[in-house]
Amino acid sequence: MSEIQGKFNASQRRACRVLDQPRSSQRFEGKPKDEDERLTKRILQFVCERPRWGYRRICQILRRDGETINMKRMYRLWKASGLTVPRNRRRKRATGVGANACDARVAAFDHDVWTWDFVQSSTVDGRTIRFLNIVDEYTRQCLAIKVGRSITSEDAIDTLAELFAIHGVPKRLNCDSGPELISTAIERRLDTIGVEILYIEPGSPWQNGVCESFNG
């Protein structure tokens, strides 16, 4: 072992002599500074308290607290600690199935299945106007037309609540998977009162034919 080490040292000396480089540069082992350890502890403390904060924001907070640290050093400490900002998970949209089409699950009596959909148009001044149409699939009766420049999920819930008070609660509600109709608030409210939501397949308006016919 000592013979191998001796040959290694000799070759190292020869290489350093050729390159005109001090041998100490080949034997130097960097050690983390106490200041880096202290800053890393503070960074980890911020990460525990605010896991959505990135290194840029934490760097600004440290500077505000009187720490002397530039962005390059902050990034080095951040990566050395293996830190990352967790990605937001996108909410999975309800995709719907063809088995929920109005001709596949036909309404059998009054207020068995309601269907609803949004229609958008514009007034003479060019401003957008929206309509929320709610129709009973069995009788083809229009139960409500909610009109507004914008209609939120809360507006839709309020409209349904009024209809429930007048006609009672339907068993099923047929609709497409548009962003307004897959609202968590709407799904939670309907699930609470036991209304099943029948989402049709995306890009298949004929599966919600009763309401589409009324819209036309």
Residues 44-70 have pLDDT tens digits of 998 888 888 899 999 999 999 988 889
pLDDT tens figures, 134-183: 888 888 888 888 888 888 888 888 888 888 888 888 888 888 776 666 66
CA–CA separation, 70 vs 216, rounded Å? 62
Contacts of 143 (CB under 8 A, 6+ apart): 114, 134, 135, 136, 163, 167
CA–CA separation, 170 vs 210, rounded Å? 16
Which of the pair, 143 or 90, is modelled with greater confidence?
143
CB atoms < 10 A from the CB of 131, how many? 15
**Residue 90 backbone dihedrals phi, psi, to 5 degrees:** -70, 140
What integer pLDDT is reported at residue 85 of this predicted model? 79
What integer pLDDT is reported at residue 32 of this predicted model? 58
What mean pLDDT value characterizes the chain? Answer: 81
**Residue 114 backbone dihedrals phi, psi, to 5 degrees:** -105, 150
Structure confidence at residue 71 as a pLDDT band (50, 70, 90): very high
Q: Calculate what percentage of the chain has a pLDDT beyond 90.
A: 8
What integer pLDDT is reported at residue 58 of this predicted model? 92
Give the best-scoring range by mean pLDDT among 132-136, 182-186, 198-202: 132-136
What integer pLDDT is reported at residue 119 of this predicted model? 84
**pTM of the predicted model as reported, rounded to 2 decimal places:** 0.51
